[in-house]
């Protein structure tokens, strides 16, 4: 296919063999930058370089999903299963399943993995904590899941319960660490109040907590956040090359969707901007369309009015564009929705979590007859759980003003960040 073009340019005719060679060179040049960009080695890659010494000769239970891959997109399942000095004996799947093929909230059943023939035990079905029967014959539990750095995303909840189960039966727990796509410096939101601890708010950490899975595991273990008196024998296989200011794009690592509606690394940013609001079931946040978590919309909204009002707030790092769309599936399938698309242009400056509350504030000003909390009473329970408190709803619903919430959010986030510093495994460039 390249011969006519090359002859036209050079005036020379080339042999078929030479053309095959030239084609190979061109492809190598095109592909090479993709593999040469990697600046970060994840925990699984470090473990391989260490020849699996931490788990050598042990019967391994692996907690993972589709995101558990190396930089060449080879599954951690396969990497451990092929290792001569490791015996992989069981797999454990969180929400969305081991292969990532279940929707949010779908119950997952235990089954046999077709590729390896290994038993797959669901940690999002009949139980969310590995039982003694599930752990029979397992010498060590290994955790390898890419997270998105948001408290309500349930993978760290699964990790904490698995650590607790390992502590109770006296087996070690190993975390193969991965980057936080929100970085290690952005912390937002207030802490979880004890009476509102749940699977979507399992630990007293802010909504955006600025830690890697390994760092969270250290805090869980050392702070006594497990429902057991004993600590787990915990090992973190740290990354190499990651610093706290890094965006996921700067790591050079490939992104594997962490769940069906987080298809890109930047999707995690938008999840923070609208995910809490989405629990009310009143507005569309773009799920069901091509922009998951990137919109604020409803069929009664005037998109121009909303865009002008949102941009008039002068919020740093974000712009709101008018948008009209029809979701392909979900609650609003086929319905014409109007609103704004969220455009984040300065990640360091923008406060992500408050954006959805600013939207509800402006919406209340434009459409006071549409009392958001008045028409969503049946969804308050999950909204409160995700917020880690009912105080957000109670305070905000009185006047629909964001400002009274900001002081608490910012002060608790700042205090937590200082509290977490002793558990940092990776430096800040500052």
Output 193 or 96, whichever has higher pLDDT.
Answer: 193
d(CA 165, CA 131): 7
Average pLDDT over residues 94-110: 66
| Closest C-alpha to 317, from 345, 296, 352, 297 | 345
Say if CB 261 and CB 235 are below 8 A apart: no
Q: Which pLDDT belongs to residue 112?
A: 87
pLDDT, one tens digit per residue, over 242-266 is 999 998 999 999 999 999 999 999 9
Residue 104: pLDDT band with limits 50, 70, 90: low
- Does position 98 have pLDDT exceeding 90, yes or no? no
Band of pLDDT at residue 33, cut at 50, 70 and 90: very low
pTM of the model: 0.89
Confidence of residue 29 (pLDDT cuts 50, 70, 90): very low
pLDDT higher than 80, residue 99: no
Residue 21 has pLDDT above 50, yes or no: no
Give the pLDDT score at 103: 57
Per-residue pLDDT band for 101 (boundaries 50, 70, 90) equals low
Across the range 276-297, mean pLDDT stands at 98
% of the chain at pLDDT higher than 90: 84
pLDDT reading at 36 higher than 80: no
34 pLDDT above the threshold of 50: no
Beta strands in 65-164 (DSSP E): 87-93, 111-112, 119-122, 140-144
Q: What is the CA radius of gyration of the chain?
A: 24
Cβ-based neighbours of 117, under 8 Å, separated by 6 or more: none
Q: Distance between CA atoms of 84 and 361, rounded to whole angstroms?
A: 59
Q: Per-residue pLDDT for 241 more than 70?
A: yes
The architecture CATH gives domain 43-259:
3-Layer(aba) Sandwich (3.40)
User: What digits encode the pLDDT tens for the residues 209-232?
Assistant: 999 999 999 999 999 999 999 999
Query: Distance between CA 118 and CA 223 in Å, rounded?
Result: 34
d(CA 409, CA 353) in angstroms, rounded, equals: 10
- Average pLDDT (117-144) is 95
- Kindly give the interhelix angle for 391-399 and 380-387, rounded to the nearest 10 degrees: 110
CA–CA dist 232, 223 (Å, integer) = 12
Residue showing tokens 């397992």: 138
Assigned architecture for domain 267-411: Alpha-Beta Complex (3.90)
Q: What average pLDDT does the structure give for the chain?
A: 90
Domain map of the chain by residue range? 3-36, 43-259, 267-411
DSSP per position, 317-372: TEEEEEEEE--SSSTTTT--EEEEEEEE--TTT--STTHHHHHHHHHHHH-TTS-T
Is residue 205 predicted with pLDDT exceeding 70? yes
Average pLDDT over residues 290-307: 98
Banded pLDDT at 95 (limits 50, 70, 90)? confident
Mean pLDDT on 364-377: 97
For residue 299, is pLDDT > 60?
yes
Least confident span in 3-12, 209-218, 298-307, 324-333:
3-12
Burial of 416 (0-12, 13-18, 19+ CB in 10 A): buried
Res 37 pLDDT > 60: no
DSSP state of 53: G
pLDDT of 191 > 80? The answer is yes
Q: Is the Cβ–Cβ distance between 217 and 236 less than 8 Å?
A: yes
pLDDT at 38: 60
Helices of type H across 203-266: 213-223, 248-251
Show the tokens assigned to 104. Answer: 């949010």
Tokens of 189: 């939101």
Query: Is residue 340 classed exposed, middle or buried when 0-12, 13-18 and 19+ CB atoms within 10 A define those classes?
Result: buried
Helix, strand, coil shares, percent, the chain, to 5: 35, 15, 50
Of the pLDDT bands very low, low, confident and very high (cuts 50, 70, 90), residue 106 is low
Q: How many CB atoms lie within 10 A of CB 234?
A: 18
Residues 6+ positions from 305 with CB-CB distance below 8 Å: 366
410/404 Cα distance (integer angstroms): 11
Q: For residue 9, is pLDDT > 70?
A: no
Cβ 255 vs Cβ 249: under 8 Å: no
Q: Is 97 left (phi over 0), alpha (psi -120 to 50) or beta?
A: left
From residue 51, alpha-carbon distances to 21, 42, 64, 171, 205 in Å are 36, 15, 20, 21, 35
Output the CA angle 28-31-36, nearest 5 degrees: 105
Please provide the size of the chain in residues.
430
Cα gap 317→197, rounded to integer Å: 32
- How many other C-beta atoms can be found within 10 angstroms of the C-beta atom of residue 323? 21
């Amino acid at each position: 296919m390249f011969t006519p073009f090359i002859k036209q340019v050079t005036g020379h005719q080339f042999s078929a063999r030479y053309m095959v060679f030239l084609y190979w060179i061109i492809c190598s040049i095109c592909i090479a930058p993709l593999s040469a960009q990697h600046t970060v080695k994840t925990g699984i890659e470090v473990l391989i370089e260490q020849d699996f010494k931490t788990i050598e000769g042990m019967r391994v239970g692996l907690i993972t999903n589709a995101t558990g891959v190396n930089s060449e997109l080879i599954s951690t399942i396969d990497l451990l299963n092929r290792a001569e000095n490791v015996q992989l004996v069981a797999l454990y799947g969180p929400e969305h399943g081991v292969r990532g093929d279940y929707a949010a909230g779908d119950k997952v059943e235990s089954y046999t993995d077709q590729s390896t023939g290994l038993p797959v035990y669901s940690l999002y079905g009949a139980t969310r904590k590995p039982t003694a029967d599930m752990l029979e014959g397992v010498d060590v539990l290994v955790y390898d899941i890419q997270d998105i750095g948001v408290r309500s995303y349930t993978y760290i909840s699964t990790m904490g319960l698995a650590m607790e189960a390992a502590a109770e039966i006296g087996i070690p727990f190993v975390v193969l660490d991965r980057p936080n796509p929100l970085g290690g410096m952005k912390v937002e939101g207030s802490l979880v109040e004890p009476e509102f601890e749940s699977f979507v708010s399992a630990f007293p950490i802010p909504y955006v907590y600025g830690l890697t899975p390994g760092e969270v595991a250290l805090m869980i273990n050392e702070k006594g956040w497990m429902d057991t008196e004993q600590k787990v024998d915990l090992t973190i296989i740290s990354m190499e090359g990651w610093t706290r200011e890094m965006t996921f794009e700067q790591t050079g690592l490939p992104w594997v969707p962490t769940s069906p509606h987080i298809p890109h690394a930047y999707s995690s940013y938008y999840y923070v901007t609208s995910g809490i609001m989405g629990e009310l079931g009143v507005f569309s946040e773009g799920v069901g369309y091509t922009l998951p978590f990137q919109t604020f919309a409803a069929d009664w909204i005037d998109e121009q009015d909303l865009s002008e009002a949102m941009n008039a707030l002068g919020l740093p790092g974000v712009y709101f564009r008018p948008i009209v769309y029809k979701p392909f599936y979900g609650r609003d399938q086929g319905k014409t929705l109007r609103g704004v698309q969220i455009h984040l242009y300065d990640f360091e400056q923008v406060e992500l979590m408050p954006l959805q509350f600013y939207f509800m504030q402006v919406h209340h000003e434009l459409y006071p007859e549409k009392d958001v909390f008045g028409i969503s009473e049946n969804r308050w329970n999950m909204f409160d759980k995700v917020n880690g408190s009912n105080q957000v709803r109670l305070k905000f619903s009185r006047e629909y003003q964001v400002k009274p919430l900001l002081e608490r959010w910012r002060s608790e986030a700042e205090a937590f960040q200082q509290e977490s510093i002793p558990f940092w495994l990776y430096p800040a460039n500052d």
